[in-house]
Amino acid sequence: MAVELEIPEGLRWTERVPAGREWLATLPDRLAECVRRWELRVGPPFPYAFASLAMPAELPDGTPAVLKLQYPDDDSVHEATALAHWAGRGAIRLLAHDAERRALLVERCVPGTPLHQLPPDRALDAVVELLPRLQVPAGPPFTTLAEEAAGWAERMPVNWERANRPYEQRLLDAALGLLADLVPSQGEQVLVNQDLHAGNVLWASREPWLVIDPKPLVGEREFAPMPMVRGAELGRSPAAVRHRLGRLSAELGLDRERVRGWAIVHTLAWSIGEGQVFPHQVEVVRWLLGDE
C-alpha cells in the first residue's frame, strides 16, 4: 500500500523534469516497501535533501538511522559500495542496501551539526584530518575519474549550447584544455568523492565528523579537496576560495595547480544540470582563473 508523502522543498526541482516526475510517482510505493522490509518507523523527510528522499528512521531495536531513496542519477550509483568500502572510517556506516529500489539504510549522525557551522579555519582543520582517511585504494566497480572526465568533456560543450551559452567561451576552452592535461598525468588512484562539501560532513557521536552522501570515483588525491575549495558553505568570495585552495593543498601535501585545475573543470561541468544554470558555479570558475 502506498504511503502519503509530502515532497520536501529541496526536491521540488524534480517536479520540473519528466524523469523527476516519473521518479516522484514511484516514491510512495518504494517507501512503503522499505518500511515493511526493514521494519522501520520513519519521520518526516529532511527538507534540505537535494538528490534523494531522506528521512529519519528507527530500527526495531530503537537504533537511529536514515532511510534514503536515491534519485536515479549516475553519480550516486556506487554510494552504498563506497560506504561499505570505508566501513565507518570517516564516513557513516551502511546498515542495509536494496540496489533494485536504490534504497539505503545508513547510520544517523547525532547531533548531525554540519561542518559549515564551525568558523571556516576550524572547519578546514577538520577537513585536513578527515580527507586522508577516506583516500583508500579502490578499483571496480567504481567509475574512474578518467572515465567521468571523458563524459564532462563530451557534455560541457553540448550543455553550454543548449543553455544558450550562459558564460564566456574562454571558460569552456580553459576547462577543456585543463582536462586534456590533467587526465593522463594523474598520480596514485584512490577513492575520492565528487560531493564532499561542508554540508555533507556532520558532527557525530561515534567520531567527531562523518561524511554523508558520497558520489565516489577512483582518481588522484589532488581531486579530493575540490568540492571544499569551490563550495560556498565556508565563505563565498574570491579570497575565501583561494584561501581554501592554498590551505588544503599545502597541508595535505598536494600540487596546488592540479587541485585548482580539477576545481575549475568540475565546477564548470556541474554549472549546468537538468537544464538549469548555476551562476555561482560559473563565478567560482572565474575566481579560480584569476579574474578577480
**Residues annotated as catalytic (active site), given as ranges:** 195
Contact call for residues 57 and 69 (beta carbons, < 8 A): no
Q: What number of helices (H) and strands (E) belong to the chain?
A: 9, 11
Distance CA 236, CA 280 (A): 9
Reading the block at residue 255, the C-alpha cell is: 600540487
Whether the Cβ atoms of residue 133 and residue 178 lie closer than 8 Å to each other: no
Total Cβ atoms within 10 A of residue 126: 16
Residue 87 Ramachandran class (φ > 0 left, ψ -120 to 50 alpha, else beta): left
Q: Which residue has the cell 575565501?
A: 240
Please give the helix or strand (H or E) that residue 272 lies within, else none: strand 272-273
Which amino acid would we find at residue 275?
A: G
